[in-house]
Chains A and B, each alone.
Chain A
Amino acid sequence: MANADCIVLQGGNMAEAHPVGFQWVSEAKARGARVIHVDPRFTRTGAIADRHIAIRAGSDVVLLGALINHVLSNDLWFKEYVLAYTNAATLVSEDFRDTEELGGLFSGFDPATGQYDLQSWAYAEAGGDGGVGSPSGQAGEHGSSKSDRAAGDEHGSGGPSLEHAEVLRDETLQDPRTVFQVLKRHYARYTPQMVQELCGISEDDFTYLADSITQNSGRDRTTVFGYATGWTQHTLGAQFIRSAAILQLLLGNVGRPGSGIMALRGHASIQGSTDIPTLFNLLPGYLPMPKVGVHDSFEDYLEGIASKRQKGYWTHADAYTISLLKAWWGEHATADNDWCFDYLPRLSGPHGTYQTTVGMLADEVEGYFVLGQNPAVGSANGRQQRLAMSHLKWLVVRDLSLIESATWWKEGPEIDSGELRTEDIDTEVFFMPAATHVEKAGSFTQTQRLLQWRHKALAPPGEAQSELDFFFKLGQRIRAKLADSTDERDRPLLELTWDYPVDGHGDPDPEAVLAEINGRFVSGPDAGKPLSFYGQMATDGSTAGGCWIYTGVYADGVNQAARRVPGGGPSPSQHEWGWAWPADRRILYNRASADPDGKPWSERKKYIWWDEDQGKWVGDDVPDFPEDRAPGARPDPNIGGPEALAGDDPFIMQADGKGWLYAPKGLVDGPLPTHYEPWESPVANSLYPQQQSPTRVVFAREDNLGAPSAGTRGDEVYPYVFTTYRLTEHHTAGGMSRWLPYLSELQPEMFCEISPALAAERGLENNGWATIISPRAAIEAKVLVTDRVKTLTINGRAVHQVGLPYHWGVGTHAVVSGDAANDLVGVALDPNTQIQESKAGSCDIVAGRRPRGQALLDLVADYQRRAGATVDTDNVPRVTDPEAETVTPRPDGEVSGEDGFSRW
């Protein structure tokens, strides 16, 4: 980021959320880079940006789409880059129909299930049959081209599968079916006027932004985008990111120094916890969890990840999977039993935290582990979360202090309101004290995929223990109790490799676990030796490794994540500090930092280039490309795998080696980002008849009612937009900050931020109290009246926004407590990522503190009644304009899209 010439921070408040990361922005700015902050609020990031542009929460695609339109229609795109490195020239299937024709929907929508059939979005085929590489009819892949196959998350390190890499291209870009032309048509209606109308951004600001990024892109210059939960936490969060990606590809800002789209993530190991996922839909290394009916056999499973005939490194998924199974089940995993593939449980749909919550409320889930997280405060619709926990038989909370998720049964808001009585709650609660980061050794993976090892400084106090220790011992205990079991279903547990070396206290050695993750040779001449890169993984069971993308972190038996050469060593890529996956590359797709001929685009932006004399790629980083593949190489694409990558296919994890302007697969809600209004919005979508994302995941329940959208009856009851966010001084749900006096005193009370105009309209005073009411709950907060929150003019009407930090919760153990903003948030999810929409919702705000007890419930109910909010409101009618729908539903009972791009 420090190398960028222009930095656009949108959907993220970097200075507040990542002050230390922001030093690189400061540095770039000191060097002369322009910094632009696009956010609903004037934040601490805005305070030192060159310009802050206020945007209505949830309208980012309109702005980004308009920028794409601006770049395309003014011929400002980076021609050589786009032609060579993206799929701009690729032809799209004739069956594809864009939103232009269908009132805001793409072809393939099934209103009955609320899902798309992705087949018509595919690339055009030589044979003209349309499917994404379906040369032979409906075999394998194509039989299941339903939306649930499109698993963005599973492609965390690359794109989704294509059957093969042979695509039709028109290098002149003139064919109306080229991605380029499709893009042009799709974004034609995203005009600066539309930006003004829907985002509340003046044409002047738009021009400033557009000029800044286009003038700072090209051979000599680069622009970088930074985003955070301001983009992900929407019903079309993944598409927000996609639209930035399209823009960046068009401008040539991917794979080069000071370029790209940076995810600014909020937790120490949030990247690590998707790489080695504690997520329902993934196995380590972005291998998918098998799904019933799709992955019933091991062959189906492998074929589903990547066709052997596509380009790139995903074609070796079989080796990665078999190595994983060998790591888990050791000698029990053999070729004969498909390497214990059947030991893996099968998914039948999404099993995310909100589906699990519903499962708890239905008494299906009995036991719940809450590990260093605080769902009673941090999850959307907090009341639903707490009520769900009261249905559990048992709950294990592991944390440093008595967080609200451990104490809701005696001091939660529902006890106060009378909905729950402590003596009626049957849930057994175990509070297990956890170890802090200095009381255990282990690795975190930070936001740029860098693994850094933490050494243990001292032993945890009292009965506190690490998760590693706890789960290791729990596993031992469970296995001991089941030791005599002959039950078939206990075999995966009993045959599991669970024999890590332990210290004097019986605690497992974390380095041994890291070694298992890295992988080793199980047989052959090198048996027992650690693998040094994932290319060594074999399909014959001779290697074991728990997470292929991390292979190399324990190369040569050395903990590479613990490397601590001061400053990372002399190289500009700072290689000698920690270890980055994959294979210690610091910039992904860095082949794109050179032109198609392998020369640096410019001296200024030199990074990786082709050295003719040595016959290989050289530069400041590990080339993220086959090292000796010459720029001019043009292997037969049909040979598949990395060998099929041409010398100008920098996107080595994509099935066609190109950057995707148009996503024929991988996203379940459209191949091109399209603006829909949030689930709850007081604004009508002026771009399309379709108001909301047609594929959003909704939970139509009494405890999750939605506010009427603009134009429907009762829309005046919740007239304001609220948006939630975090502050520098606190950490997420507060478990690691509200217990610390030094942080608590800096932001001691829950507050809301409103504009002077809204304050005048509602009679609110600075530092007085306000009650904020949504269809889910009512909370109270102190008021900050400030010009930092702008009242925007949207569609000619004033739209007021209410800003709510979400760090506080109701309890008595923290140094500071308060009502939780997340209680207001409804559960509506991005179908790609299953991330909830916490960045935009509808509410009302009135002066004074909220009522207590039953009166609080009455207040919320009264609002619901006045708004006419029921389980049907904005939940059932997914398609705003039914006659625009032309797609025949497919009779297939599969449940909708799980997974996605979750990068948060």
Chain B
Amino acid sequence: MARLSPLEWPVLRQLRSGDSLGRGPAVTSPTTRAVRPRNATADRVVQSICPYCAVGCGQLVYVKDEKVIDIEGDPNSPISRGRLCPKGSASEQLVNAPGRQKQVLYRAPKAKDWQHLDLDTAIDMIADRFIESRRNGWQELDDQGRKLRRTMGIASLGGATLDNEENYLIKKLFTAAGAIQIENQARI
């Protein structure tokens, strides 16, 4: 404070403004006088929906320098009117969680620990295993000779936290592959 100008010394400002008790503007710091809310500095604000429960509360996502700096309720949503529950209020932390895993990990059979795998290799390996297990578990006909055309070698669990479009692609791919053991939290 004093660095700016000795005249800005709050004691002098107190004298000038008559704020003898030093309560108000006489004692503010330059930082305080320049305060702005973080969300007002965002590069963009994106409308979104809370990922937790099925109420579907509206969210506003504030992005600055390609980082989420704030997530708040969207007051325009007729569903939630800008309000969020504790989980919804924590969703900025969900995105920026300290414990979030951002790399692909692979655990080999019998291995005691993870190793890193690059994304492309991982997808390739999964595709190989998908094809093989599909073949291994294939059932063309049932014991009465009726068509089954399916595989019991692959199963999937999940979807209730996913988008409709994602569920659609999963169902489409699995069904085309003949995999029928697809389930999600709708039943759990």
Instruction: Find out whether the CB atom of A283 lies under 8 angstroms from the CB atom of B175.
Output: yes
Cβ distance B100 to chain A, nearest Cβ, rounded Å:
5
Complex interface: chain A residues within 8 A of B52 (CB): 267-268, 731, 736
Residues of B within 8 A of A833 (CB): 187
Q: Residues of A contacting B77 with CB < 8 Å?
A: 577
Known contacts A427-B109, A466-B166; is-contact A740 B185 (Cβ 8 Å): no
A467 contacts partner chain B, Cβ-Cβ < 8 Å: yes
In the bound complex, residues from chain A placing their C-beta under 8 Å from that of B155 are: 356, 359-360, 365, 367-369
- Inter-chain contacts of B168 with A (CB < 8 A): 276, 284, 513, 516-517, 546-547
Among B16-24, B28-36, B43-51, the stretch that binds chain A is B43-51
Q: Verify if B68 is at the interface (C-beta below 8 Å from A).
A: yes
Proximity string of chain A (132-169) to chain B, C-beta cutoff 8 Å, 1 when within and 0 when not: 00000000000000000000000000000000000000
Q: Is the CB of A269 within 8 A of B154?
A: no
Given known pairs A276-B167, A277-B167, A471-B173, the reply for A365 and B152 (CB within 8 Å) is yes
Q: Which residues in A have their C-beta under 8 angstroms from that of B98?
A: 741
Chain A, residues 285-322, CB within 8 Å of chain B (1/0): the string is: 00001001100100000000000000000000000000
Contact B68 A577, beta carbon cutoff 8 Å: no
Q: Which residue of B lies closest to A496 (CB)?
A: B176
Q: CB distance B187 to A835 under 8 Å? A: yes
Cross-interface CB contact of A431 among B105, B161, B185, cutoff 8 Å: B105
Bound form: Cα–Cα A455–B47 in Å: 6
- The answer on a CB contact under 8 Å between B93 and A401 is no
Nearest CB in chain B to that of A516: its residue: B168
Taken together as a complex, chains A and B put the C-alpha atoms of A276 and B144 apart, in Å, by: 32
B99 contact set on A, CB distance < 8 A = 401-402, 739, 813-815
Contact between A373 and B119 (Cβ–Cβ < 8 Å)? Answer: no
* Residues of chain B lying within 8 A (CB to CB) of residue A353: 157, 183, 187-188
A715-758 vs B, CB cutoff 8 Å, 1 = contact: the mask equals 00000000000001111100011011111001000000000000
- B176 near A328 (CB under 8 angstroms)? yes
Within 8 A of A (CB), among B91-115: 91, 93-95, 97-114
Interface membership of chain B positions 159-188, coded 1 if the CB is closer than 8 angstroms to chain A and 0 otherwise: 111111111111111011111111111111
**Complex: how many Å from CA A484 to CA B67?**
44
Q: B165 contacts which of A399, A514, A742 (Cβ < 8 Å)?
A: A514
Q: How far is the CB of B177 from chain A (nearest CB, A)?
A: 6
Contact A577 B79 (CB under 8 A): yes
Would A273 and B57 be within 8 Å (CB), given that A402-B101, A740-B94 are in contact? Answer: no
> Residues 81-95 of chain B: 1 if any A CB is under 8 Å from the residue's CB, otherwise 0?
101111110110111
Residue A393 is within 8 A (CB to CB) of chain B in the complex: yes
Q: How many residues of B contact A (CB 8 A)?
A: 119
Q: Which B residues touch A425, using CB under 8 A?
A: 109-110
Number of A-B pairs whose CB atoms are under 8 Å? Answer: 487
Does A834 contact B169, Cβ atoms closer than 8 Å? no
A18 within 8 A of B: yes
Q: How far is the CA of A398 from the CA of B157 in the complex (A)?
A: 10
Question: Contact at A364–B76, with CB atoms within 8 Å?
Answer: no
Q: Is the CB of B80 within 8 A of A269?
A: no
Q: Provide the bound-state CA to CA distance between A342 and B108, in Å.
A: 38
Q: Decide: A393 and B94 in contact? CB cutoff 8 A.
A: no
- In the assembled complex, the Cα of A498 lies from the Cα of B169 at a distance in Å of 9
Complex CA–CA separation, A594 to B94 (angstroms):
46
What is the distance, in angstroms, from B95's C-beta to the closest C-beta of chain A? 5
Verify if A242 is at the interface (C-beta below 8 Å from B): no
Contact B51 A447 (CB under 8 A): no
Query: Does chain B have a CB within 8 A of A903?
Result: yes
Contacts of A406 in B (CB 8 A): 105
- Quick one: given A269-B163, A277-B171, A474-B127, are A356 and B56 in contact (CB under 8 Å)? no
Q: Answer whether residue B12 sits at the interface, using C-beta atoms and an 8 A cutoff.
A: no
Say yes or no for B2: interface residue by CB 8 A criterion: no
Nearest chain A CB to B154's CB is how many angstroms away?
Answer: 5
Which chain B residue lies CB-closest to A739? B99
Cβ of A428 to closest chain B Cβ, rounded Å: 6
Proximity string of chain A (352-378) to chain B, C-beta cutoff 8 Å, 1 when within and 0 when not: 110110011000111111111101001
Q: Which residue of B lies closest to A480 (CB)?
A: B127
Given A436-B94, A478-B177, A902-B186: A367 and B133 within 8 A (CB)?
yes
Interface centre among A279, A492, A514 (most CB of B within 10 A): A279
For the complex, give the distance between the alpha carbons of A399 and B99 in Å.
12
Question: A444–B77 Cα gap in the complex (Å)?
Answer: 14
Which secondary structure dominates chain B's binding surface? mixed
Please, which residues of chain B bring their CB within 8 A of the CB of A278? 156, 158-160, 162, 167, 170-171, 182-184
A270 B185 Cβ-Cβ under 8 A: yes
Chain A: minimal CB distance from B12 (Å): 43
Check B148 against A348 for contact (C-beta < 8 Å): yes
Inter-chain contacts of A742 with B (CB < 8 A):
86, 90, 93
Please tell me if the beta carbons of B128 and A481 are within 8 angstroms of each other in the complex. Answer: yes
* Structural contact, B158 and A370, CB atoms closer than 8 A: yes
Q: Is A336 an interface residue (CB 8 A)?
A: no
Which of A186-194, A561-569, A788-796, A863-871 participates in binding chain B? A561-569
Residues of chain B lying within 8 A (CB to CB) of residue A359 = 152, 155, 181
Flag if A454 contacts B48 (CB, 8 Å).
yes
Interface string of A436-479 (1 = CB under 8 A from B): 11111011111100111111111101111111101111110110
How many whole Å from B111's CB to the nearest CB in chain A?
8
Complex Cα gap A416–B141 (Å)? 43
Also in contact, A17 and B53, with CB within 8 A (given A280-B183, A371-B162): yes
A269–B167 CB distance below 8 A: yes
Q: Chain B residues with Cβ under 8 A from A478's Cβ? A: 127, 130-131, 173, 177
A445 touches B128 (CB 8 A): no
Cβ-defined contact, B88 with A431, below 8 A: no
Cβ of A510 under 8 Å from chain B = yes
Q: Is A603 an interface residue (CB 8 A)?
A: no
CA of A612 to CA of B146, assembled, Å: 56
Contact of B153 among A366, A372, A442, A574 (CB under 8 A): A366
The smallest beta-carbon distance between B35 and chain A, in angstroms, is 23
Q: Mark interface residues in B114-146 (1 if CB within 8 Å of A CB, else 0).
A: 100111001111111111110011101010101
Distance between Cα atoms of A375 and B146 in the complex (Å): 34
Q: Are B148 and A345 in contact (CB under 8 A)?
A: yes
- Residues on B with C-beta less than 8 A from A266 are 53-54, 160, 185
CB-based contact B112/A423 at 8 Å: yes
List the A residue with the shortest CB-CB distance to B93: A740
Shortest Cβ gap from A306 to chain B (Å): 22
Partner of A429, one of B94, B103, B106: B106
Q: How far is the CB of B45 from chain A (nearest CB, A)?
A: 9
Is there contact, CB below 8 Å, between B87 and A743?
A: yes
Chain A contacts for B157, CB-based, 8 A: 353, 356, 368-371, 373, 375
Q: Report if A396 contacts B (CB, 8 A).
A: yes
Contacts of B118 in A (CB 8 A): 463
Does B55 count as interface, using CB distance less than 8 angstroms?
Answer: yes
Select B68's contact among A431, A438, A443, A489, beta carbons within 8 Å.
A438
**Distance from B182 Cβ to chain A, minimum over Cβ atoms (Å):** 5
- Who on chain B is nearest to A445 by CB? B164
A contact residues around B49 at 8 Å (CB): 268, 437, 444, 446, 452-454
CA separation between A433 and B123, bound complex, in Å? 12
For B136, the closest partner residue in chain A by CB is: A366
In the bound complex, do residue B95 and residue A436 qualify as a contact, i.e. CB atoms below 8 Å apart?
yes
Q: Tell me, in angstroms, the Cα distance from A478 to B173 when the chains sit together.
A: 10
A833, B187: Cα distance in complex, Å: 7
Known pairs A445-B164, A446-B54, A477-B127 / 8 extra A-B pairs, C-beta < 8 Å: A20-B55, A276-B164, A277-B171, A292-B146, A369-B157, A492-B177, A834-B187, A904-B187
14 A-B pairs, CB-CB below 8 angstroms?
Answer: A267-B185, A270-B184, A278-B182, A296-B147, A345-B175, A428-B108, A429-B107, A437-B49, A463-B119, A489-B149, A510-B165, A565-B76, A737-B87, A833-B187
Q: Which B residues contact A (CB, under 8 angstroms)?
A: 44, 46-58, 61, 63, 66-68, 71, 75-81, 83-88, 90-91, 93-95, 97-114, 117-119, 122-133, 136-138, 140, 142, 144, 146-173, 175-188
Closest 8 CB pairs of A and B: A446-B56, A371-B158, A442-B163, A462-B102, A278-B159, A345-B150, A568-B78, A265-B54
